[in-house]
Chains A and B, each alone.
Chain A
Amino acid sequence: MFGYYLDLALRSLKRHKVLTLLMVLSLALGIGACITTTTVLRLLSGDPLPQKSGQLFYPQVDPNAKEGYIAGQTEPPATMTYVDAMFLLHAHRAKRQAAVALTSGKIAPQRANERPFYSDGVQTTADFFGLFDAPFEYGSGWTAADDEGGSQVIVIAGFLNQKLFGGANSVGKTIRMNDHDFRIVGVLKPWSPQPRFYALDLGGHDYGGDGDAMFLPLKTAMDLKMGPQDIECYNAVTDVDNLAAAPCMWLGVWAELPDQAAVADYRTFLANYAKQQVAQGRFSRDETALLDLMGWLRDQQVVPDDVRLQAGLAYGFLLICVLNTVGLLLAKCLRRSREIGVRRALGATRGAIFGQFMVEAGIVGLVGGVLGLCFAELGLFGIRHQPAEYASLAHLDLSMFLFTFVVAVMASLVAGLLPAWRACAVAPAPQLKAS
């Protein structure tokens, strides 16, 4: 039966080539636009650390002045002062914790007659690597003792190791950064979570790139006056060089909390700390927050407005394309009332007519889907050439590939529903009488 419908549908589609082309093209355009923007949207709102994101939390406290504070509405700032970050770290209330800031440094080449270059880096604490599952090629991270002592140790990314040492095991070797010697303790495998969630509000980019090139202890960086990328001060600063005591926020703190109980405990601990600071007069606001990784990404709106706007636009576009296809299919099926009348008179049931028209719509959808996939590839090619941080990441993956076909067939079946229903409602007698 299905084979017969298929044959009928193909004949009908062939009879009106231009019209068929029109339907397929418009559906394909709509689908292509949707797939392109959905891919980008998914890419940008994806989970950078799927195996662990549920256990990673971002505590926030608010040292700002009372003025402008509305209880329950004002959210605490994204970063922390050194004092607060160190208190949280030293309290050891989480399985692992790390304080993070971004920096950059001038790296001297290993070979003569090469030029020095600047690389992006992270200043952080020992647990950073375990906390975020950063994989090591050689060596390991530094220890808590290195943190305390401000040792000049460094972990470098695989690509920097490739550039400086040709990829050989460089643990124990020394590199010169900002005119200071650092001993390499570890080399990372390629590691570049997208978005770069651990540095969302610390300055720099959120997407793209090969990841940060080097990681060094926070205290070491402070001793060597390697300033962080982004500083926000809530009071008049008298000594910008003494960041440890300055009323400035520049650190992001992350905590690993394995279960609900640990999260609840940490929340209470954080709230108590804020209350205690208010009582001591250091804080004027006792608002705190403890968002998990995905919640933090949403809160920071990592997905740019433009991308969401584009997605909305694409779905509107698809809606118009579907409407267009419905109109054309409907017009076509109404013109074939006589043919339907004859088929009904010869014994075809309403269901059979309905099936026949749905098969026709389905074929349009399937072809539209294939073409839409081509358009999506074209669209993503366009996205890759856009001046955006995430541009290089825009690729069609298998799930989006399947999604395309589901969307295409669904869209065309929805488009075919009304015409098919109208077709099977055709009464045979008047149609036969008319001729």
Chain B
Amino acid sequence: MELRPIFSTLRRHKTTAWLLILEIALTCAIVCNAVFLIGQRLQRMDLPSGIAEHELVQIQLGPIGKNADAKAQSATDLAALRQIAGVRQAAMTNQMPFSCCSDSTGSIMLDPHQQQGTAQVAEFMGGAGLLSTLGAELVEGRDFQPSEYVDFDAAVQALHDGNARGLPQEIILTRGLAERLWPGQEALGRTVYFGDALPFRVIGVVASLARPKQLEQGVQYSAVLPIRMTVADGSSYILRTAPQDREAILKAAVAKLKQLDPNRVVLVKRTYDDARREYFAGDRAMAGILVGVILALLTVTALGIVGLASFWVGQRRRTIGVRRALGATRGDILHYFQAENFLLASFGIALGMVLAYGINLFLMLHYELPRLPGIYFPVGALVLWGIGQLAVLGPALRAANVPPVVATRSV
């Protein structure tokens, strides 16, 4: 196809052509970045938690001051909860991956004299059976033994008295954290330090266990401590069951707990899936908004192309008629308009890529986003070319249908 006549025509409509190019460029730039942002959100929502997500339910009761009976009560509750038909396992934990509200972190150190911690680590605490209830997969070493557990209030007292013996001596880390602390080396048997140089020996490594929040500090930087929690410490009961039984188990468990003590306040009762959905609700909403914006942008741009192309076709009816009379086929006319649109879109896309890169740089500076991957450029180009061709098809077909007789008819 000869491009020269297209160029000379466009030169006669410089302003309009430039407007269209600019519109396509801006659309391209914004759509590229918006798609990238959506990708980021989806990636975040898809982060692995390392636990048996679809099998867990969580119940949190309101803490009632310092209750001396809390320990006994929690033990009774757990025993009662395990009795419910369908409950496979039950445990207490102070926090769950990707879920709002409670969150305990500590600064982990490799050397007792270190001034600043190596990483901020989420500390999961709970009594026997926590790991297996959560479904966290132990890949190295072993789980805690019954003798290694310490009660939470005893641990607090030991901390107060400066008695390191009263604190747990063992710890289980995630593989991600172990890799961060000792890259490429064995983690088992090594010692880490928390707080005032308190030593903990690594006895196990779990494949994955995501932190509750502050994901920017390292999603997988978590540790498990053998500390028995009670309702008084703001901890939750977690129950593991078959996925289809979760709702029923949740109801039964709440009923059971209320039956044991009708004066208790249930703060949280939910399946883990709900907790996770709630945690990422903002990301999902933002992704939805971005999808809406992209669709609206592409529609507006496509309609703009349709509008302009229709006008050009209308304006050039006579020229088209002359060309047809001189022997141009319908296909020639059709291709002419398609090529013209392709040309404009190409200019727009080229400009748009530069703009997209610029916007990405700005976002990287202000919103801590990574760099736009190269793949977005060819894909964005293809999409815009496609939309341009689709939009111009109608007007181009109309142009192709202009009869040659227009050339001789006086207006």
| A residues adjacent to B (C-beta < 8 A) | 19, 22, 25-26, 29-30, 33, 65, 67-68, 106, 115-118, 178-179, 225, 236-241, 305-306, 309-310, 313-314, 316-317, 319-321, 323-324, 326-328, 330-332, 334-335, 386-388, 418, 422, 435
Question: Are B265 and A115 closer than 8 Å at their CB atoms?
Answer: yes
Name 15 interchain pairs, CB-CB below 8 A, sorted by A: A29-B300, A65-B115, A106-B62, A106-B64, A115-B265, A118-B267, A316-B30, A320-B27, A323-B26, A327-B19, A327-B308, A328-B307, A328-B308, A387-B285, A435-B411
| Per-position 1/0 for B259-286, Cβ under 8 A of A | 0000101010000000000100110111
Question: Are A327 and B20 closer than 8 Å at their CB atoms?
Answer: yes
Question: Are B303 and A26 closer than 8 Å at their CB atoms?
Answer: yes
Please give, as numbers and ranges, the residues of chain A lying within 8 Å of B30 by CB-CB distance. 313, 316-317, 320
Please give, as numbers and ranges, the residues of chain B lying within 8 Å of A237 by CB-CB distance. 159, 195
Given contacts A29-B296, A422-B15, 4 further A-B contacts (CB under 8 A): A178-B64, A327-B304, A330-B19, A334-B315
Tell me which of A328, A386, A435 contacts B285 (CB under 8 A): A386
Evaluate whether A310 and B289 lie within 8 angstroms (CB atoms) in the complex, with A26-B304, A320-B297, A330-B19 already known: yes
Tell me which of A19, A116, A334 contacts B307 (CB under 8 A): A19
Question: Are B311 and A332 closer than 8 Å at their CB atoms?
Answer: yes
Tell me which of A178, A241, A323 contacts B19 (CB under 8 A): A323
B314 within 8 A of A: yes
Chain B residue with minimal CB distance to A322? B23
Chain B residue with minimal CB distance to A225? B66
Evaluate whether A387 and B303 lie within 8 angstroms (CB atoms) in the complex, with A323-B26, A335-B315 already known: no
Question: Are A328 and B304 closer than 8 Å at their CB atoms?
Answer: yes
Question: Are A313 and B20 closer than 8 Å at their CB atoms?
Answer: no
Please give, as numbers and ranges, the residues of chain B lying within 8 Å of A19 by CB-CB distance. 307, 310
Question: Are B293 and A33 closer than 8 Å at their CB atoms?
Answer: yes
Interface residues of B in 5-64 (CB under 8 A from A): 13, 15-16, 19-20, 22-23, 26-27, 30, 34, 37, 62, 64
Evaluate whether A238 and B367 lie within 8 angstroms (CB atoms) in the complex, with A306-B282, A332-B311, A335-B314 already known: no
Interface residues of B in 390-407 (CB under 8 A from A): none
Question: Are A331 and B312 closer than 8 Å at their CB atoms?
Answer: yes
Question: Are A67 and B282 closer than 8 Å at their CB atoms?
Answer: no
Question: Are A239 and B160 closer than 8 Å at their CB atoms?
Answer: yes
* A424 nearest CB across to chain B (Å): 15
Please give, as numbers and ranges, the residues of chain A lying within 8 Å of B282 by CB-CB distance. 306, 387-388
Please give, as numbers and ranges, the residues of chain B lying within 8 Å of A435 by CB-CB distance. 411
B379 within 8 A of A: no
Please give, as numbers and ranges, the residues of chain B lying within 8 Å of A334 by CB-CB distance. 13, 16, 311, 315
Number of CB contacts from chain A to chain B under 8 A: 129
Chain B residue with minimal CB distance to A304? B282
Chain B residue with minimal CB distance to A239? B160
Please give, as numbers and ranges, the residues of chain A lying within 8 Å of B296 by CB-CB distance. 29, 33, 317
B301 within 8 A of A: yes
Contact residue range for chain B? 35 or more
Evaluate whether A313 and B285 lie within 8 angstroms (CB atoms) in the complex, with A67-B116, A328-B308 already known: no
Question: Are B289 and A326 closer than 8 Å at their CB atoms?
Answer: no
Question: Are B303 and A324 closer than 8 Å at their CB atoms?
Answer: yes
Tell me which of A65, A241, A335, A387 contacts B278 (CB under 8 A): A387
B216 within 8 A of A: no
Q: In the bound complex, how far is the Cα of B296 from the Cα of A116, in angstroms?
A: 49
* A134 nearest CB across to chain B (Å): 27
Chain A residue with minimal CB distance to B310? A19
Please give, as numbers and ranges, the residues of chain A lying within 8 Å of B285 by CB-CB distance. 386-388
Question: Are A309 and B196 closer than 8 Å at their CB atoms?
Answer: no
Tell me which of A179, A317, A388 contacts B297 (CB under 8 A): A317
Question: Are A324 and B263 closer than 8 Å at their CB atoms?
Answer: no
* B371 nearest CB across to chain A (Å): 17
Tell me which of B23, B162, B311 contacts A320 (CB under 8 A): B23
Q: In the bound complex, how far is the Cα of B300 from the Cα of A29, in angstroms?
A: 9
* A338 nearest CB across to chain B (Å): 10
Question: Are B65 and A387 closer than 8 Å at their CB atoms?
Answer: no
Question: Are A321 and B315 closer than 8 Å at their CB atoms?
Answer: no
Question: Are A116 and B196 closer than 8 Å at their CB atoms?
Answer: no
Q: In the bound complex, how far is the Cα of B313 from the Cα of A228, in angstroms?
A: 71
Please give, as numbers and ranges, the residues of chain A lying within 8 Å of B156 by CB-CB distance. 240-241
Please give, as numbers and ranges, the residues of chain B lying within 8 Å of A67 by CB-CB distance. 115-116
Q: In the bound complex, how far is the Cα of B342 from the Cα of A341, in angstroms?
A: 33
Evaluate whether A309 and B311 lie within 8 angstroms (CB atoms) in the complex, with A65-B115, A327-B20 already known: no
Please give, as numbers and ranges, the residues of chain B lying within 8 Å of A386 by CB-CB distance. 285
Chain A residue with minimal CB distance to B17? A327
Question: Are A118 and B265 closer than 8 Å at their CB atoms?
Answer: yes
Question: Are B265 and A117 closer than 8 Å at their CB atoms?
Answer: yes
Please give, as numbers and ranges, the residues of chain A lying within 8 Å of B263 by CB-CB distance. 116
